[in-house]
Amino acid sequence: MITKITSDLVYLGQDDDRIARFENVYPVPRGVSYNSYLLLDGKTVLFDTVDRSAAEPFFRDLREALGERALDCVVVHHMEPDHAGTLEALLRQYPETKVVLTQKALQMFGQFFPLDIAQRAQVVKEGSTLCFGRHTLRFVTAPMVHWPEVMVSFDETDGILFSADAFGTFGSLHGRLYADQYGFEAELLPEMRRYYANIVGKYGAPVQTLLRKAAGLPVKMICPLHGPIWREGLDRLTEKYDRWSRYEPEGDAVVIYTGSVYGHTDAAARALADELNALGVTDVRLYDTAGTDLSLLVAEAFRAGTLVFAAATYNNGIFTPMETLLADLKAHDLQGRRYALIENGSWAPNSGKLMEECLSSMKRMTRRGEILTLRSAMKPEQLAELKALAQALRADE
């Protein structure tokens, strides 16, 4: 898609509506966009390429956008193949084009591709600047947002931050190029959060470093590598990123995860949700870990301040979908949450102890209440225990 952003900056990104799972793991029912931008200054500068699946329309759009002009330079912000998958093909088609990238990105290029670009590479570092005519670009390294070779660049002339994966969102654009053309809470935020938590969530400290660097720049527009361009509401966007990267919840929500074989554990979890509701805690959501995609479960853990894990014992361990969720939350370095536990076991309940071991090994996690142990099904006489658990969660609001 070729769309003018400013008088000399063109959007060249491509929607991918055929992809089922981004990175072969995260469902993207509304697709994903691979964003690329072309600056038509004294020199022509391409910012990143696209995934190989979109190579054909991308090269066609690039040729059309360049017209009679040569491609002088490509800036590589990130070497992950969703952005650099067509980079080697580009450099073969445009043999005079120079490549601006970090030293680590140059090394990664050699890992991915056989083409030798040593003579064409212009390695930049933190604070390097390049002038292309009217525009001067400043390069800012952003290691681990989301790979170690990542940099972002800032167009000092127009105040545009090319932010690589940062501030990205799942979802194709279908011509709606700007974030202000979407409903923030209902349309953008859930997929922004799912993207952030799963793709970048592990790297809170590097994101904080990037936010500090960006705060020192007069940014008027953010052009990420996925999802819409931000020309309004930058404070709202950066507030979310700041919160998520500090692992601070967005509010007082309680998320209850269930891992139930025949429904008895699930029934107890639903009874807890009812008790919480009766106590005035209204933002309670319950997810079946066996039937909900892991990426949504992880995103919800980044949103909510209180998490309840209710799981059956299975093969003397934790019911597998719950075990997977806990491992993924730990892998994403989730921290600073209150949690409560419900375990079930018909002859040797053990999931509570194992869930506790996992959660207590994570940072700043605090358990509330006692572990509620079910033996096959919750008994009426356990209602007092359940109410006490709800009260313990509420008391920490």
Q: Say which residue the tokens 């790297």 belong to.
A: 203
Least Cβ distance, residue 239 to ligand FEO (angstroms): 22
Site for ligand FEO in 90-149 (CB under 6 A): 146-147
* 275 near ligand FEO, rule: CB under 6 A: no
Least Cβ distance, residue 142 to ligand FEO (angstroms): 11
Nearer to ligand FEO, 83 or 135 (CB): 83
DSSP, collapsed to helix, strand or coil, labels residue 354 as: helix
Least Cβ distance, residue 294 to ligand FEO (angstroms): 18
- CA nearest to 1, candidates 50, 42, 44, 40: 50
Span from 60-68, 75-83, 227-235, 360-368 in contact with ligand FEO (CB under 6 A): 75-83
Span from 79-87, 90-98, 179-187, 344-352 in contact with ligand FEO (CB under 6 A): 79-87
* 332 near ligand FEO, rule: CB under 6 A: no
Tokens representing 371? 């572990």
Q: Say which residue the tokens 């799912």 belong to.
A: 194
Nearer to ligand FEO, 53 or 346 (CB): 53
* 77 near ligand FEO, rule: CB under 6 A: no
Q: How many residues bind ligand FEO (CB under 6 A)?
A: 9
Tokens representing 163? 């932010």
For 140, the enclosing helix (H) or strand (E) is strand 136-141
DSSP H helical ranges for 224-318: 234-245, 264-278, 294-303
Half-sphere exposure of 139 toward its Cβ, with a 13 Å CA cutoff? 23
Residue of 77, 83, 337, 338 that binds ligand FEO (CB under 6 A): 83
- CA nearest to 12, candidates 69, 52, 50, 68: 50
Name the closest residue to ligand FEO (Cβ): 80
CA 25 to chain centre: 13
Spatial contact of 77 and 166, defined as CB atoms under 8 Å apart: no
Nearer to ligand FEO, 83 or 394 (CB): 83
Tokens representing 244? 């998520």
SS (H, E, C) 189-238: HHHHHHHHHHHHHHHHHHHHHHHHHHHCCCCCEEECCCCCEECCCHHHHH
Least Cβ distance, residue 34 to ligand FEO (angstroms): 8
Least Cβ distance, residue 168 to ligand FEO (angstroms): 6
* 226 near ligand FEO, rule: CB under 6 A: yes
Nearer to ligand FEO, 78 or 193 (CB): 78
Least Cβ distance, residue 225 to ligand FEO (angstroms): 5
* 82 near ligand FEO, rule: CB under 6 A: yes
Residue 362 and residue 351: Cα distance in Å, rounded?
17
Residue of 41, 165, 328, 385 that binds ligand FEO (CB under 6 A): 165
Residue of 74, 225, 378, 390 that binds ligand FEO (CB under 6 A): 225
Residue of 80, 149, 155, 275 that binds ligand FEO (CB under 6 A): 80
Least Cβ distance, residue 285 to ligand FEO (angstroms): 28
Span from 80-88, 253-261, 304-312, 332-340 in contact with ligand FEO (CB under 6 A): 80-88
Q: Say which residue the tokens 């390695």 belong to.
A: 123
Q: How far, in Å, are 120, 193, 320, 352, 377 from residue 349 at the CA level?
A: 63, 35, 15, 7, 12
Spatial contact of 52 and 85, defined as CB atoms under 8 Å apart: yes
Query: What phi-psi label fits residue 175: left (phi over 0), alpha (psi between -120 and 50 degrees) or beta?
Result: left
Binding positions for ligand FEO, rule: CB under 6 A: 78, 80, 82-83, 146-147, 165, 225-226
